[in-house]
Amino acid sequence: MTLVTPPPIDQEDENMLVPHSDLVEGPQPLEVVAQAETGSTTENQQVEDPQASRFTWKIENFSGLNTRKLYSDFFVVGGYKWRILIFPKGNNVDHLSMYLDVADSSNLPYGWIRYAQFSLAVVNQIHNKYSVRKETQHQFNARESDWGFTSFMPLSELYDPGRGYLANDTCIIEAEVAVRRVVDYWAYDSKKETGFVGLKNQGATCYMNSLLQTLYHIPYFRKAVYHMPTTENDLPSASIPLALQSLFYKLQYNDSSVATKELTKSFGWDTYDSFMQHDVQELNRVLCEKLEDKMKGTVVEGTIQQLFEGHHMNYIECINVDYKSTRKESFYDLQLDVKGCCDVYASFDKYVEVESLDGDNKYQAEQYGLQDARKGVLFNDFPPVLQLQLKRFEYDFVRDTMVKSCEYYCSGEVKIVGIADMRKVILNNNW
């Protein structure tokens, strides 16, 4: 998330296809397979044939299933037949695998396409709030007639009788499907419809594309990149400034999507790197550091610092003696918790939450020895462009793995304020 406020100086400016892998967590295509015997009951909660509907599938004697894959009965949404496909023991993984399938795909005419947004869920029959639900969207066709999640949930959790996902050895699966108008992506003209064009994905560079689009849409940043000196002997594949200038120019004036290969070559990346997921925050920091270094001694020196640098103060204050330690630090981005926070302001409240240092965790206060103290952080100032990294992943000690938090801000509104107003917000919220 990037919050933009007016910069301190004047300005003048005008799903890639997911490759199939049984080991990738996330929406994955499958081949059409023959239907297995089903020992289940189904409930299609619809009277007519709406564009959206929920389908419930109850599978009895679940732990005794000896088939590799299992289909539900078909149900109709939007005039189309659908069904759920599961792999009770996992599709070559130690997770339940689950997909939404076009039931009559083998009988449909050549070139058929249908687009749906859908969610799949395993219902927790003890506490419904612990039900596991994942959602995605897909444009189904003959090559990709099913789509879903290879690693839906760990088998150890599913088959654990104390977890609540199996009650009387019955598993309840739900599908919510909404059929949407098919978008002809080949005929879609992004420049005509929006005035902008996209970036081509090299394999796993969608995170980088998002970052580049964000930076491109900061006018002063784009202007500074254009003003970085280059020579006619420079090659884009060997010069980050020239490669970024070329990329931004094409984003501004091309009529179709733009390739990023010259830029990644200037990073020193090869094809392997383009197919590896990198941390977007780390890439942002490395890229800005390189640009900041290249800007030294030029007319745009200090631009990165002016745009993105803010300051906060870390402090430790003793409770029982008159002693306080402070340290001022700069930041270019902030990592905010999302879990348990209703909006970005609640995330900031959590960021500056005061920590008590007592008991075995007392503070060593020089001549005063170990003391009870309070530890916290206060903001001195925010930059014109405030970059917020929302922390979606945390370590789960029970599962012994990193898990993603899918919580979202409930207010749906972030007020964009000026620098002077931001100071008021800081004071009002004790940041």
Long-range contacts of 9-12 (CB under 8 A, 24+ apart): 9/220, 9/306, 11/219, 11/220, 11/223, 12/223
CATH number of the domain within which 111 lies? 2.60.210.10
**Looking at residue 185, what is its pLDDT?**
67
Residues 140 and 99 in one domain: yes
Together in a domain, 316 and 247: no
pLDDT digits (tens, 9 = 90+) for 200-243: 988 888 899 999 999 999 999 999 999 999 988 888 888 999 99
**405 φ, ψ (degrees, to nearest 5):** -90, 125
Is residue 130 in a domain? Answer: yes
Please check whether residue 4 lies inside any domain of the structure.
no
CB 83 within 8 A of CB 199: no
Q: Is 41 within a domain?
A: yes
272, 399: one domain: no
Res. 47: pLDDT tops 50:
no
Nearest-10 crossing angle of helices 206-216, 240-253: 80
Where is mean pLDDT largest: 19-33, 164-178, 410-424? 164-178
The boundaries of the domain holding residue 109 are 27-180
Beginning with the edge strand found earlier in the chain, give each strand of the sheet holding 132-141 in spatial order: 40-45, 52-59, 171-180, 113-122, 132-141
**Residue 403 pLDDT class (50, 70, 90 cuts):** confident
Q: What is the pLDDT of residues 160-180, one digit of tens each?
A: 989 999 999 999 999 999 998
Instruction: State the Cα–Cα distance between residues 263 and 255, nearest whole angstrom.
Output: 19
Other C-beta atoms closer than 10 Å to the C-beta of 396 total 10
Q: How far apart are CA 364 and CA 368, in angstroms?
A: 8
On whether both 169 and 38 belong to a single domain, the answer is yes
Measured CA to CA, the distance from residue 243 to residue 225 in angstroms comes to: 10
**pLDDT (0 to 100) of residue 108:** 92
Q: Rounded distance, CA 405 to CA 394, Å? A: 8
Confidence (pTM): 0.57
Residues 289-308 have pLDDT tens digits of 999 999 999 999 999 999 99
Helical H segments across 257-412, by residue range: 261-266, 271-274, 280-295, 303-308, 344-351
Give tens-digit pLDDT for 69-115: 999 999 999 889 999 999 999 998 899 999 999 999 999 999 899 99
Mean pLDDT score across all residues of the chain? 84
Residue ranges in 227-312 assigned as alpha helix (H):
240-253, 261-266, 271-274, 280-295, 303-308
Domain count for the chain: 3
**Coil/strand/helix, residue 396:** strand
Residue 20 inside a domain? The answer is no
Please identify, among 245, 272, 306, the residue that sits at the C-terminal boundary of a domain: 306
DSSP labels for 15-45?
--PPPP-TT--SEEE----PPPP--EEEEEE
* Residue 205: Cβ-neighbour burial (10 angstroms; 0-12, 13-18, 19+): buried
Q: Do 172 and 33 reside in the same domain of the chain?
A: yes
Asked if pLDDT for residue 28 goes beyond 60, the answer is: no
Residue 220: its pLDDT value, please?
Answer: 96
Helix 206-216 vs helix 219-226: crossing angle, to nearest 10: 90
Do 336 and 389 belong together in one domain? yes
Whether the per-residue pLDDT at 430 is higher than 90: the answer is: no
Task: Assign 342 a pLDDT band (cuts: 50, 70, 90).
Answer: confident
Among all chains, which residue has been given the structure tokens 């396409």?
113
Residue 22 pLDDT = 39
* Whole-number Cα distances in Å, 77 to 33, 48, 148, 299: 22, 9, 17, 60
Q: Has residue 20 got a pLDDT over 60?
A: no
Q: Is 353 exposed, middle or buried (0-12, 13-18, 19+ CB in 10 A)?
A: exposed
Q: Return the minimum-mean-pLDDT range out of 10-14, 81-85, 119-123.
A: 10-14
> Is 253 a domain residue?
yes
Using CA atoms, how far apart are residues 134 and 153, in angstroms rounded to an integer?
Answer: 10
84 and 203 within one domain: no
Predicted local distance difference test score (pLDDT) of residue 48: 43
Q: Are residues 224 and 366 in the same domain?
A: no
pLDDT tens, position by position, 271-293? 777 677 778 899 999 999 999 99
In a domain, 12, yes or no: no
Would you say residue 30 has pLDDT above 50?
no
Whether 426 shows a pLDDT value over 70: the answer reads no
Cα radius of gyration (the chain): 27
Query: 306-325 in b/e burial notation, b at 16+ Cβ within 10 A?
Result: bbbbbebeebbbbeeeebee
Task: Give alpha helix (H) positions in 150-302.
Answer: 155-158, 190-194, 206-216, 219-226, 240-253, 261-266, 271-274, 280-295
